[in-house]
Structure 1
Amino acid sequence: MTGTPPRAATAPDRAPTNLTQGGKTKAGIGESTLRPDGTLKVTGEFAYSSDMWHEDMLWGFTLRSTVAHAEIVSIDTAEALATPGVYSVLTYDDLPTDVKNYGLEIQDTPVLAHGKVRHHGEPVALVAADHPETARRAAAKIRIEYAELPLVTDEATATAEGAPLVHEHRTDHHIGHVPHPNIVHRQPIIRGNAAEAAKKADVIVSGEYVFGMQDQAFLGPESGLAVPGEDGGVDLYVATQWLHSDLRQIAPVLGLPEEKVRMTLSGVGGAFGGREDLSMQIHACLLALRTGKPVKIVYNRFESFFGHVHRHPAKLWYEHGATKDGKLTHLKCRIVLDGGAYASASPAVVGNASSLAVGPYVVDDVDIEAIALYSNNPPCGAMRGFGAVQACFAYEAQMDKVAKKLGMDPVEFRQLNAMEQGTIMPTGQPVDSPAPVAELLRRVKAMPLPPEQQWLTAGAGADVRALPGGLSNTTHGEGVVRGVGYAVGIKNVGFSEGFDDYSTARVRMEVVGGEPVATVHTAMAEVGQGGVTVHAQIARTELGVQQVTIQPADTQVGSAGSTSASRQTYVTGGAVKNTCEHVREQVLGIGRRKFGTYHPAWATAELLLEGGKVVTDGGEVLATLADVLEGEAVDLELEWRHRPTEPLDLRTGQGNGHVQYSFAAHRAVVEVDTELGLVKVIELACAQDVGKALNPLSVVGQIQGGTTQGLGVAVMEEIIVDPKTAKVKNPSFTDYLIPTILDTPTIPVDVLELADEHAPYGLRGIGEAPTLSSTPAVLAAIRDATGLELNKTPVRPEHLTGT
């Protein structure tokens, strides 16, 4: 018997009953279907994981290190244990098995620090108490003596002779091909001969670029509820991005078989990569199993900054050459990503950054190197754009520099060098689906520009809300200059480099209350991307039913993979489509068995399911689905894989590493107060190829959301780490700034649909590409307004005024 489920659940996707018109099912593929959880989220009634509650529940709290790199000399928990209301205090020595580390690829992250701490905010001890404040106060009574160690904070300190090792005893599979143990992974991409090609260049432009550390800044901090089961197992209700990956890492630490760790997705308040790694999952389960009581852990915003990985800060060096007529001759670049104290997704981020470092351009001769460091800075891993964001910021700045040196229009220069279907990537992989880079640039440039000085109101003074500085009322238009900038980016879709990327879907079709109903069950984590609508749309399209129920995601069905890499609509949507097709064939088989002798069309015609009926390809109705399925049900669970990829060669970077590519282009219009250094982004127009818009409303929402996240890193978002102490200086939304509605510009979107014949419905992953090109477009516009070089994100007032 398992634990009693907690009180919080989201409603299943129950389609409206008026979904047929002319006998055909509506709200299928291509329709703008509203989210079933949309109203609940807007009104504040949606149940997030932090809303979970259970009778006799305890609260967990994590004590974190106050220093970035130190030996743990001693830990004294006696006073904390003696605190009234405290049920348990755990340290590394209390862990139940010999498996004490976890990790996405490399298991280098300790559940609780042992021997030493490697970054500011690393978990050291756990407390369970009957009230959250009691747990906090008790944790504050734990006495830890640290002996601080020298810090590794950048490439110089990481690779210097005699540098302290962040991980003294590395045994992972990357150690054999990296030049120093403080380098997590290295990936070169060598194609052609960049040195020889450089001799043919009429102009050569180089630049050094710095990309700041960005936080995912999701709405709901990490939270979950662990309930001990009567069978010795545990039920975990949690907000995550990949249930089965969590399960794979959690079970060995608990010393339990995977079937005794039952995971159910709870309401997720955004993710953007920050929930790919574990946070409180193991901690809650350990406390629940130790106390025999349900344990809930909810981070506050301060804890959340330390509880998840961030976007890798990066330093990038680029050199481009071009002929006088504008053709790119070569590229040399070096990308250094700071992965922080633990590996997380750094190896995959290196692979993306290197393989996409050229951007969506044709360059036959390239010499690329990307590395990720181990350091004592905060751990970094997955975030929307995943390595391609940092590269895009640099190569797009370079495109503007080269165009300027040649005296060419920056958009025309990009179009002249734009890749297309059939282009060979620097990895040697041919692009075998539409790559409309030049067309996207043409479309975004053709959009009408916003009117000049739109902050002036008729017959009145300036509307300060539309001015740089906004409601701070710092300028009324004096010294405000407009700038326009363009950028385009390329992002891979799906997991890469030989990863077995698949998903599983279970579909059941039966008669309930006299009408056919389809139930779809996957382990897909709905984090806001829209699978909760798309899966129902696919079922309605493939099965011709009106009523579709989406079951809550859990580990009682096979893995759906991570909700990341723009892959869920492609891969789990593909799994739902594939399973529905097999269900449809079985339903038709039942119909043939029941009614085939009554009408020859059952044996000879192409039969379809539409509007709750079985029809021929000519539109003749043969039977209702309710009659076909009366007394029977079809229930299938199937895995589905896209075409395979392969690892990149560790010397040359050659290989078919990616499944699919997505493209987006932006035009930014900004107004800059050049005296005060204030920026107002007026508009961020976007053109993007989505292959097929399965839910057009959600498509536009994803593009606008990704665009806004790119805007944030352009002008305000950065986690500041003190270089002397490696401590985070701004772990709050008071000091870490994100765009509000007043900062968000108009975002017109032009959606292009060029089908990828290899993908379900021809779709293309869309969620990440707009995050790439919005940042460099904003920087390009600010450069256009100010004439400054601006090679660092985010742009701050002092960068514009020289103060």
Structure 2
Amino acid sequence: MTQTADERAGEILHGIGASARRPDATLKVTGEFAYASDLWLEGMVWGATLRSPHPSAWIRSIDVGPALRMPGVRAVLTHEDVPGEKYFGLDHKDQPVLAVDEVRYQGEPVALVAADHPETARRAAAAIEVGYEVRPAVTDPRESQRFVRHQPVRRGDTFEAEVVVRGEYEVGMQDQAFLGPEAGLAVPAEDGGVDLFIATQWLHVDRDQLAPCLGLPPEKVRLTLSGVGGAFGAREDLSMQIHACMLALRLNRPVKISYGREESFFGHVHRHPARMRYEHGATRDGRLVYVKADILLDGGAYCSSSLAVVGNAASLGVGPYEVPNVHVDATGVYTNNPPCGAMRGFGAVQACYAYESQMDLLAQACGLSPVEIRMRNAVSQGSRLATGQVIDAPAPLADMLKRLESMPLPPERTDADLRSLPGGVSQTTHGESVRRGVGYGVGIKNICFSEGFDDYSTARVRAELVGGEPHVTVHTAAAEVGQGLVTVQAQIARTELGVANVTVATADTSVGSAGSSSASRQSYVTGGAVRAACQAVRERFQGLPAKQALERFGPIEETREYRHRPTYPLDPVTGQGDSHTQLALCVHRAVVDVDVELGLAKVVELAAVQDVGRILNPQALEGQIHGGTAQGLGLALMEEIQVRDGRVLNPSFTDYLIPTILDMPPMKLEILENADPAAPYGLRGAGEPPTLSSTPAVAAAVRAATGLRLTRVPIRPEDIALSE
């Protein structure tokens, strides 16, 4: 691709298109970066939470006396001490700040303690005596009678075909497994309000949920982003925010709450487990005629973002394929399992595993290769989704599949080095029962929020002379959660203003909302806002270079909002509607070695092709694709919160397994730049699509190695160990 003079200049400035260095990189690598759990203020006390041991029970009594009598305990609070509204929630205010008269999941907060030492706070919380009347728990979503949302999608009326394949699929509950558990510091203010320093994804929506529960106007609840050790959707919901503020306001002194890893498993939402039934009908030459799907999502005890997750699963439930006839039902239900909400891929991951498994079945039934069946049905620009929405930007899926298939495969294993085998040096079969499989996966993901959500971001840009040289400050409320957003904001400012010295101010609520760092939206929406504010500043330069303009006019500051084009709710009966802003595609190929005697799998190589519209930062982009792929691999082979009768059995990284550097294979990437004319710089959000397609690709490779159907992820050793 030929660069313009402006683009070359931008690279010299470390602007758009350059792998600009992250300002937080060295500190994070050396362990010096300050995360929210490192917050400290003189005179602060520590908060702790008492949580329910039962998934479903009435609360008959709470005796806080034993805790209050302990030396060093400053306060004990229950629901009776909530100063404002007792309920909060992202889409529906159904979640109590502290349990009122019942608990609906194991780990539900019941009471709070503040003490001089964190261990004292934890011991005091354990000393609180709660009288529970345990009741039967609804833990099977198929038995639930409480619906969060049912969203049908109906298109066409032909549901007969020459070739028909059916399958039932299941996806387990995955944890976001971020690096830094929930933490924050609440500081009471002289005006009667509170300042909260918090690791979150969404400052303004946190504030909008906090203020009513604290009985305060929004302007008296001020949030500042603290160091965030990853998020992946789990920090969209509140955890300890209201609790820390309640304690701080009660005691009139700073209060810090920091979860340990075990408490973190109970303190945030997880990926929705799913049960799915699919039926695909096609012509003998593999052209899709219809798709039927029934998608059941377990939302757990409270709504969280389940409404939107169901909408995504419904609208993207047949994948990036041309299908003239569609009958989809996506349903989310309440249970007494842990609450589920946003996680990277957000409803599209579960459906992707099912429809891609079906495409492999269909390929076998039609005598076609996995790539050919997908190419024959691939969407392109101008295609319609199942919801009737037209794909109005480049969508070169067939070309992406060709490119992926043409990548050389890794050589066959020829040595006897145990380290190259599934199980590594703990191998006991010496490789005689190892078989290799190759699998493909395709995913389509919406970018930005959907279904009529007022999705926008605000940016304030100030240009001034500092030490006689131009300096630019960019201020947004966009949460840097590890994805490199701070770097991209600075790159945009350098590109638009031609100024090398750029500072990105700490995100807080003193500037307008930037929405959530989720839905792969921040480069699009906050990037668009920063660009618009920079362009407004540049216009006031009146054609002069930055230094001359600032010498003549003094400091220049502009604030701009950026909104993408409107979206619309899905029709509640037909599921038709232009519900999405932008769509992104990624395709994966996985090569997996499987020891069919031991039930062990080793991913030998992953290859991916992704269209990102425009590369803003090559190195950061590759990191996003690698990271998303790793989480998809985890879901395919190892990651699952084990829940039995509503109780979590493995709330630790000892028992909840995530991929390590030893599990991630070499990756081949090909990144395409087919610009979306409706997006800033033509970019396309890139962080989530790899999470979709890597899971079915790995699963398909294991199937190819074993010959087994394997209809559930994660795949367990007992699923693939072949009996004699």
Is the structural similarity TM-score above 0.5? yes
The answer to whether residue 81 in structure 2 is matched with residue 94 in structure 1 is yes
Match of 2:3 in 1: none
Match of 2:15 in 1: 28
SS of structure 1 residue aligned to 2:613: coil
Match of 1:188 in 2: 152
The answer to whether residue 432 in structure 2 is matched with residue 468 in structure 1 is no
| Cα contact 2:497–2:546 (8 A) shared by 1 | no
The answer to whether residue 205 in structure 2 is matched with residue 218 in structure 1 is no
Match of 1:637 in 2: 559
Counterpart of 1:274 (choices 230, 234, 241) is 234
Match of 1:296 in 2: 256
| Cα contact 2:592–2:698 (8 A) shared by 1 | yes
With normalisation by structure 2, the TM-score equals 0.98
Alpha-carbon distance between aligned partners in 2 of 1:379 and 1:432, rounded to the nearest angstrom:
36
The amino acid across from 1:198 in the alignment is F
Counterpart of 2:689 (choices 765, 769, 792) is 769
Q: How does 1:720-735 map to 2 (within 5 A)?
A: 720-722=642-644, 725-735=645-655
| Cα contact 2:184–2:244 (8 A) shared by 1 | yes
Match of 1:796 in 2: 716
Counterpart of 2:390 (choices 413, 430, 448) is 430
Q: How does 1:196-595 map to 2 (within 5 A)?
A: 197-199=158-160, 201-453=161-413, 456=415, 462-588=416-542
Residues 91 and 802 from structure 1, CA distance in 2 versus in 1: closer, same or farther, beyond 3 angstroms? Answer: farther
The answer to whether residue 705 in structure 2 is matched with residue 785 in structure 1 is yes
Counterpart of 1:54 (choices 37, 41, 47) is 41
The amino acid across from 1:141 in the alignment is A
Offset at residue 465 of structure 1 (A): 2.6
Offset at residue 245 of structure 1 (A): 0.5
SS of structure 1 residue aligned to 2:541: helix
Alpha-carbon distance between aligned partners in 1 of 2:191 and 2:504, rounded to the nearest angstrom:
28
User: 5+ unaligned residues in a row in structure 2: which ranges?
Assistant: 1-5
- Higher mean C-alpha displacement, 434-443 vs 84-93: 434-443
Alpha-carbon distance between aligned partners in 2 of 1:320 and 1:144, rounded to the nearest angstrom:
52
SS of structure 2 residue aligned to 1:198: coil
Alpha-carbon distance between aligned partners in 2 of 1:427 and 1:629, rounded to the nearest angstrom:
55
SS of structure 1 residue aligned to 2:663: coil
Match of 1:602 in 2: none
The amino acid across from 2:533 in the alignment is T
Match of 1:41 in 2: 28
Residues 624 and 733 from structure 1, CA distance in 2 versus in 1: closer, same or farther, beyond 3 angstroms? Answer: closer
Identity %: 64
Match of 2:602 in 1: 680
Q: Which structure would you say has the larger Rg?
A: 1
Alpha-carbon distance between aligned partners in 1 of 2:496 and 2:446, rounded to the nearest angstrom:
28
The answer to whether residue 707 in structure 2 is matched with residue 743 in structure 1 is no
Offset at residue 467 of structure 1 (A): 1.2
| Cα contact 1:508–1:518 (8 A) shared by 2 | yes
The amino acid across from 1:657 in the alignment is S
Offset at residue 429 of structure 1 (A): 0.8
Alpha-carbon distance between aligned partners in 2 of 1:630 and 1:477, rounded to the nearest angstrom:
75
| Cα contact 2:7–2:17 (8 A) shared by 1 | no
Alpha-carbon distance between aligned partners in 1 of 2:611 and 2:301, rounded to the nearest angstrom:
37
Alpha-carbon distance between aligned partners in 1 of 2:360 and 2:380, rounded to the nearest angstrom:
20
Alpha-carbon distance between aligned partners in 2 of 1:627 and 1:662, rounded to the nearest angstrom:
40
Offset at residue 446 of structure 1 (A): 1.1
Offset at residue 475 of structure 1 (A): 3.8
With normalisation by structure 1, the TM-score equals 0.88
| Cα contact 2:13–2:498 (8 A) shared by 1 | no
Offset at residue 24 of structure 1 (A): 8.2
The amino acid across from 2:685 in the alignment is G
Residues 22 and 802 from structure 1, CA distance in 2 versus in 1: closer, same or farther, beyond 3 angstroms? Answer: closer
| Cα contact 2:612–2:683 (8 A) shared by 1 | yes
The runs of 4+ residues in structure 1 deviating greater than 4 Å are: 19-25
User: Cα RMSD over matched residues?
Assistant: 1.4
The answer to whether residue 77 in structure 2 is matched with residue 113 in structure 1 is no
Offset at residue 439 of structure 1 (A): 1.2
Alpha-carbon distance between aligned partners in 2 of 1:157 and 1:233, rounded to the nearest angstrom:
45
| 1:26-49 C-alpha deviation (Å, 9 max, x unpaired) | 201111112110111111010000
Match of 1:146 in 2: 132
Match of 1:752 in 2: 672
The amino acid across from 1:762 in the alignment is G
| 1:764-792 C-alpha deviation (Å, 9 max, x unpaired) | 00000000000000000000000000000
The answer to whether residue 612 in structure 2 is matched with residue 652 in structure 1 is no
Match of 1:713 in 2: 635
Residues 23 and 677 from structure 1, CA distance in 2 versus in 1: closer, same or farther, beyond 3 angstroms? Answer: closer
Residues 624 and 183 from structure 1, CA distance in 2 versus in 1: closer, same or farther, beyond 3 angstroms? Answer: closer
Alpha-carbon distance between aligned partners in 2 of 1:229 and 1:22, rounded to the nearest angstrom:
46
Alpha-carbon distance between aligned partners in 2 of 1:20 and 1:191, rounded to the nearest angstrom:
45
| Cα contact 1:241–1:275 (8 A) shared by 2 | yes
The amino acid across from 2:512 in the alignment is G
SS of structure 1 residue aligned to 2:662: coil
| 1:178-204 C-alpha deviation (Å, 9 max, x unpaired) | xxxx010010000111xxx232x1110
Alpha-carbon distance between aligned partners in 1 of 2:250 and 2:429, rounded to the nearest angstrom:
60
| Cα contact 1:20–1:546 (8 A) shared by 2 | no
| Cα contact 2:597–2:722 (8 A) shared by 1 | no
| Cα contact 1:25–1:546 (8 A) shared by 2 | no
| 1:53-80 C-alpha deviation (Å, 9 max, x unpaired) | 0001100000000000000010000010
Match of 1:136 in 2: 122
| Cα contact 2:10–2:498 (8 A) shared by 1 | no
The answer to whether residue 130 in structure 2 is matched with residue 122 in structure 1 is no
Offset at residue 21 of structure 1 (A): 8.6
Number of aligned residues: 718
User: 5+ unaligned residues in a row in structure 1: which ranges?
Assistant: 1-18, 160-181, 457-461, 589-606, 608-613, 615-622
SS of structure 2 residue aligned to 1:135: helix
SS of structure 2 residue aligned to 1:421: coil
| Cα contact 1:587–1:629 (8 A) shared by 2 | no
Alpha-carbon distance between aligned partners in 2 of 1:93 and 1:683, rounded to the nearest angstrom:
56
Offset at residue 511 of structure 1 (A): 1.1
| Cα contact 1:20–1:26 (8 A) shared by 2 | no
The amino acid across from 2:147 in the alignment is I
Offset at residue 155 of structure 1 (A): 3.2
| 1:194-238 C-alpha deviation (Å, 9 max, x unpaired) | xxx232x11100100000000000000000000111111111000
